C-alpha cells in the first residue's frame, strides 16, 4: 500500500502549499487559518481520490471526471467574470464561511469532505481484499482439481 501512502503524503503537501498561498492573499486569524488549511487539504485528498478512482475504472471515465471537476472548480471564476452568469458553488461557499466566521457550514463541509476522503482512501484496500480473495479461490480450485 505504498501507493496510498504516497498519494496521502503528496495530497497533504499540495494542500499545504495551496493553503499557504491562499493565506498570503487573505489575512485571517489563527483559527480561521487552521480551518482554511484543513478544508484545503481535505478537498485535495477528496478530489484527487475521486480522480484516482475514476482512472482505475477506465481512462475514458477518468477523463470525464477530470473535465467535470475542472468545470466545477472554474464556475466561480465564470460567475465573477460574466455578468449574466450566476451559480452557487458549495466549495466557494465553504471558503466564504471560513472568512466570515460561519462555523456551521465549515463543520458540515468538513464532515462531508472527511467522509469522501475516507471512502476514496479505502478503495485500494477494498480492491486488494477482493483481488486476494479471488486469487485464493482460484488457487483453491486449482488444488482441488
Q: Which residues of 96-134 are buried (b: 16+ CB within 10 A; e: fewer)?
A: ebbeeeeeebbeebbeebeebbeebbeebeeeeeeeeee
Report the alpha-carbon distance of residue 29 to residue 99 in Å, rounded.
Answer: 9
What is the structure's pLDDT at 114?
A: 93
| pLDDT, averaged across the chain | 86
Using the predicted structure, report yes or no on whether residue 143 has a pLDDT greater than 70: no
pTM for the model: 0.82
* pLDDT tens-place string over residues 64-114: 999 999 999 998 888 888 888 888 888 888 888 888 877 888 888 999 999
What is the structure's pLDDT at 79?
A: 83
What average pLDDT does range 138-143 have in this prediction? 62
What is the structure's pLDDT at 55?
A: 92
Amino acid at each position: 500500500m505504498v501507493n496510498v501512502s504516497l498519494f496521502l503524503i503528496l495530497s497533504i503537501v499540495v494542500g499545504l502549499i495551496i493553503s499557504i498561498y491562499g493565506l498570503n492573499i487573505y489575512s485571517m486569524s489563527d483559527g480561521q487559518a487552521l480551518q482554511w488549511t484543513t478544508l484545503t487539504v481535505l478537498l485535495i485528498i477528496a478530489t484527487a481520490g475521486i480522480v484516482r478512482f475514476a482512472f482505475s475504472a477506465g481512462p475514458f471515465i477518468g477523463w470525464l471526471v477530470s473535465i467535470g471537476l475542472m468545470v466545477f472548480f472554474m464556475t466561480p471564476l465564470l460567475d465573477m467574470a460574466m455578468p449574466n452568469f450566476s451559480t452557487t458553488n458549495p466549495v466557494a461557499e465553504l471558503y466564504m464561511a471560513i472568512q466570515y466566521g460561519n462555523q456551521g457550514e465549515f463543520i458540515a463541509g468538513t464532515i462531508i469532505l472527511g467522509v469522501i476522503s475516507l471512502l476514496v482512501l479505502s478503495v485500494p484496500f477494498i480492491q486488494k481484499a477482493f483481488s486476494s480473495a479471488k486469487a485464493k479461490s482460484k488457487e483453491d480450485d486449482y488444488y482441488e482439481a
